[in-house]
Structure 1
Amino acid sequence: MSSSPRIVVTDWDQDSLAEEEAVAASRGMELVRADCRTEEDVIRAAEGARGILVQYAPVTRRVLEALPGLKAVGRYGVGVDNVDVDAATSLGVAVCNVPDYGTEDVSDHAIALTMALARGVAALDRAMRSGDYSLAPAQPLHRLSGRVFGVAGLGLIGAATARKARGLGYSTIGFDPLHSPGTVSPDGTPVVTFDELVRRADVLSLHVPLNGHTRHLINADVLAKMKPGAVVINTCRGGVVDTDALVEALESGSIRGAGLDVFEEEPLPSASRLLGLENVVLTPHAAWYSEESQEELKRRTAENVMDVAAGQTPRNIVNPEVLA
């Protein structure tokens, strides 16, 4: 039986673990792949493990308490909403993420969704394929210059998105609880209140984590305050938007459209009302992806967990107090 530290990949929706295996080999650690969906799956697969790499599997207090030898949890991505960070901290388990791996990729995707709506690309494509060669499916369109691009969340991705939007001709405004209204963020975005952001934005692009403060941040009351011609872009977390309220706003025409990469339930159910709306552009949680970002995400997630397993300080840790 191997005496090497055991690291378990609880779940990952890609075929290859080449990057993780290379990191494990360089550290003299054993890497094991599992296919976990439930708490019971994680407990069973990770018994005796020093660390786990997790994508969507639940890492709850129950899971953590059942794995007394666990030293680190590494989340593939920026958000850690499927990990009970408070429980991990109380039990001395490091929680790691990769907060900056997809900055360019996600911001690129937010802009791509924006442009697909702003220029009617998806609607015109669908119409042409059905034999309609008119502009009617996309009308009215407006030039970008003079339009307002609002960013909720001025972290790395939000700041990059604002920068790219300005390059296209939009004027930008942003909201972030860490920045005072009336100031200008380091990337050059004027900071406003959330209410002003919602009222002024022609494009409202969301770049916030999912937590108790942001769940259903975009709800019926917020949508009712938006311009009738506004669009919502969501590339952060599905739970930030109240899906039912958004569908109602889109169906009623109280807002013009939405570009969505993330959903409250993923994969998006085949019965979702979103699928029947012509004024929505949908992508399957793809904003993070490029060949470069995927390689970086996989490698750095493994490095973080294996650093902790080896008694070292990782590059990224959500709860650094556990290593103090």
Structure 2
Amino acid sequence: MGARVLVTDVAWPTTDVERSVLAGAGAELILAPPGDTAALAALAVDADAILTCFRTVSAEVLDAAVRCRTVARYGVGVDNIDVGHATRLGMLVSNVPVYCVDEVADSALLGILALARRLIPLTRDVAAGGWGRTVPGSGSRLRGKILGLVGLGSIGSALAERAHALGLDVVAFSRSPRPVPGVRWAASLKDLLAEADMVSLHMPLTDRTRQLIGAAELAAMKPTAWLVNTARGPLVDTAALLKALEHGTIAGAALDVTDPEPLPADHPLRTRDDVVLTPHTAFSSDGSLAELARRAATNVVDVLAGRLPATIVNPGVLTSAALRTPLAAR
């Protein structure tokens, strides 16, 4: 019998792409039905590998997966995987850090444009039978304004290129600054927040970045500024953001990710005219989803075949005595 690959969840209609990649290596794809942690752990017992999108792969699931050699993430962030525990058990963890750069950068720009052109209140007014003349306020001119990027990896850099085309000035903050054409570096996050007319987050979720933007950071922003988050919901203190919007501390927000996710059906952020809210779909397009499925499945196939995958989240496992499979260099 070939290897069994447990897919915990997917956010797209079919698993045809990854099923094909795995079948080419003689591996069988097992798609888990919805269920609790115990149900997922029961399925993990016979898994040689785990592929996961958003579902939590906890220590309980990993302990049950006694044959599992690798856990592969469909996506960039690995905050839904207990990476430390996987490392202790000798499982290699991989991700797909580059597959939706254009899509997420486009989505962040879409949020900025929607806030600038007041898309939400105007379309709601038209849908209700109006024609915009009764909606107070006017749009904002973007040219000459300052975009602040918190984190400047591939997505932040792609957004910076788009921002320059609109005539925006770009300033960035990162703990590891590097020369980037057309981008100024802020000395601190506080300095960036005070200067920027719009702040876009492009950081991974870690213990260090959780609730990076809270009440104090929102208070440091201009009252006319917008917050854009296409990265991870818990980077922002949701209660503090709602209060900042209600009190006029900032002028608006564009969110593709929230904390919690999804927001409760009656959450006030869902209906505010100064909030552009989308359901964690910034990464999604016909091209990006196919590429993501192929790359994630290929990472699994590589490990099962004794090869190093394209990306390794926990490289320390390679020298661990607990490593469950010998891996040759690529």
Gaps of 5+ in 1: none
1:186 to 2:180 alignment: yes
Aligned to 1:73: 71
How many residues align? The count is 318
Q: What is residue 94 of structure 1 aligned with on the other side?
A: 92
Q: What is residue 190 of structure 2 aligned with on the other side?
A: 195
Q: Which deviations, in whole Å up to 9, do the C-alpha atoms of 1:70-110 show, x marking residues without a partner?
A: 11001111100011111111211011110011111000000
Structure 2 counterpart of 1:10, from 8, 11, 17: 8
Partner of 1:207: 202
Among 231, 237, 258, the alignment partner of 1:263 is 258
* Alignment equivalent of 2:273, drawn from 255, 270, 278: 278
Q: Does 1:147 align with 2:145?
A: yes
Asked whether the 8 Å contact 2:12–2:289 carries over to 1, the reply is: no
SS of alignment partner, residue 301 of structure 2: helix
Alpha-carbon shift at residue 136 of structure 1 (Å): 5.8
Matched-pair contact (CA < 8 Å) for 1:119–1:138:
no
Identity of aligned residues (%): 42
SS in 1 for 2:193: helix
CA distance in 2, matches of 1:301, 1:125: 38
Contact 2:44–2:61 (8 Å) recurs in 1: no
Larger displacement relative to structure 2 (117-126 or 35-44): 35-44
Counterpart residue identity of residue 118, structure 1: A
Match of 2:236 in 1: 241
1:111-130 matches, cutoff 5 A? 111-130=109-128
Distance (whole Å) between structure 1 residues aligned to residue 214 and residue 271 of structure 2: 20
Task: Flag the 1:164–1:138 CA change in 2: closer, same or farther, 3 A.
Answer: farther
Instruction: Give, in whole Å, the separation in 2 of the partners of 1:105 and 1:194.
Output: 26
2:118–2:138 contact (8 Å) kept in structure 1: no
**Paired letter, 1:305:** V
For 2:275 and 2:248, locate their aligned partners in 1 and report how far apart those are by CA, in whole Å.
Answer: 12
**Distance across 2 between alignment mates of 1:308 and 1:138:** 58
In structure 2, the partner of 1:107 is 105
Question: Residue type of the partner of 1:79?
Answer: G
Report if the CA contact (8 A) 2:42-2:64 is conserved.
no
Q: Which runs of 4+ in 1 moved over 4 A?
A: none
- Local SS of the residue matching 1:137: coil
TM-score (norm 2): 0.92
Pairwise CA distance, 1:25: 1.5
Distance 2:182 2:61 in 1: 43
Distance in structure 2 (CA, Å) of the matches to 1:288 and 1:241: 19
3-state DSSP of counterpart to 2:125: helix
Return the letter of the residue paired with 1:68: V
Query: What letter corresponds to residue 179 of structure 2 in structure 1?
Result: S
Q: What is the CA RMSD across the aligned residues, in angstroms?
A: 1.5
What are structure 2's unaligned runs of at least 5 residues? Answer: 320-330
Instruction: Show CA shifts across 1:176-198 (max 9, x none).
Output: 1111xxxx633542111211110
Task: Give me the whole-angstrom Cα distance separating, in 1, the residues matched to 2:90 and 2:277.
Answer: 40
Question: SS state of the match for residue 194, structure 2?
Answer: helix
Amino acid at match of 1:260: L
Contact 1:152 1:176 in 2 (8 A): yes
- Taking the aligned partners of 2:213 and 2:108, their CA distance within structure 1 comes to 17
| Cα deviation, residue 317, structure 1 | 1.4
Q: Which residue of 1 aligns with 2:24?
A: 26
Counterpart for residue 325 of structure 2: none
Equivalents in 1 of 2:132, 2:13: separation in Å?
Answer: 43
> Which residue is equivalent to 1:43?
41
TM score, norm. by length of structure 1: 0.94
Q: Cα distance, 1:36 vs. partner?
A: 4.4
Shift of 1:134: 3.9
Residue 138 of structure 1, CA deviation: 6.0
